[in-house]
Each structure stands twice: as C-alpha cells, then as structure tokens.
Amino acid sequence: NSPKNPKDEEETKIETTPLSNVSSEDLKLVLNETLSEDDDNDDKTTTTTPCTNENVGVSSNNNNNNHPISKAQQLQTIYIPTNMKSEPIPATIALPSSYYESSNNNNNTSYYPTLYLLHGATDDHSTWSKHINLPSLATKYNLIVICPDGGKTSWYFDSPLDTTYQYETFVSQELVTYIDTTYRTLPQVSKRAIMGNSMGGHGAFFLALRHPSVFGTAVSISGGVDLRPFSTQWSISKRIGTIQQHPQRWKELSVVTQVYNSPKLKNLHLAMDCGTNDFFIQVNRNLHYVLLEMKVPHDYTERMGGHGWDYWERVIYLNMAFVYEHIHS
C-alpha cells in the first residue's frame, strides 16, 4: 500500500454524507465482533489449487456436500489464465460457509453475488486476507469475495507501454468470465460489486466507470482517484509514460475525469470513503464535488483517520453495508 501520510496532526471531521442504511447490526459488528487468535489464524489458512477445471472451483457432486464447508475450503488461492502473460495470475477467493452445504434435494443449487476486492500499490492478492477475515465476511454478507493480484503497481488499467500489464482487461473480462464459469455466481451486473483501497480504490471506480455492464456497484476506500498530483510516485509513469510527455493520457486515465465519459454513469451505485488525514483526501473531495455538480447519486463519507490498515480494517464493514444493500436488493 501507499506510504504513510507524513502529516500526523488531528483534523476535525467535516460535513459528510453518511453511507446509506448502515444498520445498528453492522455498526455493532465493527465495534464488538472479535475473533479469537486461533480462529483467525485458521480462517486465514490458504490452500493452493492448480489452474484446472477439475480442481479449481466447486464441484456440485462434492462428496462432503452434507457437511459445512471447511475453513481451508472457504479460503483458496486460484490461478487464472490470461493472454497478457505466459503464467496464470493468482487470486485469493473466499466462499460463504453455505457454499458446499446441501439443499433439501441434496444438490447445491444456490448461486451467489460476487465482490471483487482490489488491493493497493505494492501489495498483492493475499494482502486483504492477512488483515480481514474474508471467509467471515463472505458468510455474513452471503457472497463470494475475489481478491485478484494487481501486479503491484498496475493501477488496474491497460498499460500502453507494457503488454504484460493489461489489468483492465484481466479484471473486467478474463477474471470475471473465469469466476462466473467456475463458481456458482449470479452473473447479472446488479449482483456484481467491486471495491478497493488506495490504488484499488482508483481501480474499483475506474473499472466500474468504464465497464458499467460488468460492475453495478463500486466502492472506493482511500482511493487515488486523480493520478496527476502524484505523477512521480508508485510507478504510475512506468505504466503510462511521464505526465510531461503524455498529459492527456494522465487526464483521461484519472477517475475524476473518467466520470464525464462514462456510459450509464447514473445507473451505477457509487460510494467513496476517505480519512481526513489521508494524502488522497483532496482528490476525493474534488471527485465528490464533480459528482454533485453532475447530479450523480453517490455516498460520500469522511472520517478521522489516515492512509493505512488501522483505517481500512475499521471501515470495510461499514462499506459492506452499502454493497449488501445493492447486490441483495
């Protein structure tokens, strides 16, 4: 993830637009839900699955389908074939505890919404699972969570300079197709959400804005939604060239300007969340003002906090209330 904000002094919370319909149950989860250290470590056990149709994903004829899914089965590492690299790209996937349980007729017939959870710069597909109990999250909200590897600093767009960094195509096409054909998902756009932190917050909005027929709900947490003020950082220039050489490219690939060109913009369910001590706070405020001027419905929240896991571990549950509201409506 991005380096810590050097600014450390407290700021007062400014006017916010709260997440819609955050129930007392969800707030109670943030304040009171604790997992024992042993259970937490068990839940984070990852099994590596070869990239074959026989072994990756779920078999409806599972011999143990009359028993609850095991913790090892709930959290898996899978490998997705891609045209941009010779080797497959890893992803961490978390299944709800009901996934392998049998229904009344002993056949697994339940299908699930999906949440694509993107990591920040310098992280990888496993980072979210090291900080959040993803099987518990998948079970509570009754969905499948997919954390793809984003190439450390891909920023989730197709690099015009490097054919091995085509992550817009990978996430929005190759990954989604693979997940929908391998797991029991609900493939409708209304049942597919995307969320991320930092670089992943940019990626969540960027991909939803450019592919509104793929993702219906998008949440940016501490997102770098305007690349231009950070032109010398996080290898962005390695992906798209320098801002001096390609100013128009930097403008077009920033979320804050993508909103003007996004088809079906007002059909998307959008939420933004950023800490008041975050170095991305101003670009988030700018995007918020642009969306207000365009009269685009969205949720926008600022809270006390900076750019790090102490913030993200706390707010993901509050933002999951927004995701749940829309993918289960």
Q: In terms of Cα–Cα distance, which of 211, 206, 170, 174 is closest to 192?
A: 211
3-state DSSP percent of the chain in helix, strand and coil, to 5: 35, 15, 50
**Side-chain-facing half-sphere of 188: CA atoms under 13 Å:** 8
Specify the residue for token string 């505890």: 97
The Cα 184–Cα 99 span in angstroms is: 9
* C-beta separation of 170 from 84 below 8 A: yes
Per-residue pLDDT of the chain (329 residues; tens, 9 = 90+): 544 443 333 333 333 344 344 444 443 343 344 333 334 433 433 333 333 333 333 323 333 333 345 555 899 999 999 999 999 999 999 999 999 874 444 555 799 999 999 999 999 999 999 999 999 999 999 999 999 999 999 999 999 999 999 999 999 999 999 999 999 999 999 999 999 999 999 999 999 999 999 999 999 999 999 999 998 888 899 999 999 999 999 999 999 999 999 888 999 999 999 999 999 999 999 999 999 999 999 999 999 999 999 999 999 999 999 999 999 97
Pinpoint the alpha helices (H) of the chain.
24-32, 37-43, 71-74, 127-131, 134-141, 167-169, 176-182, 199-210, 236-240, 247-252, 255-258, 281-293, 309-327
The Cα 109–Cα 90 span in angstroms is: 27
Residue 274 pairs with which residues in a beta bridge?
302
CA separation (Å) from 295 to 48, 94, 217, 226, 292?
Answer: 46, 36, 17, 20, 5
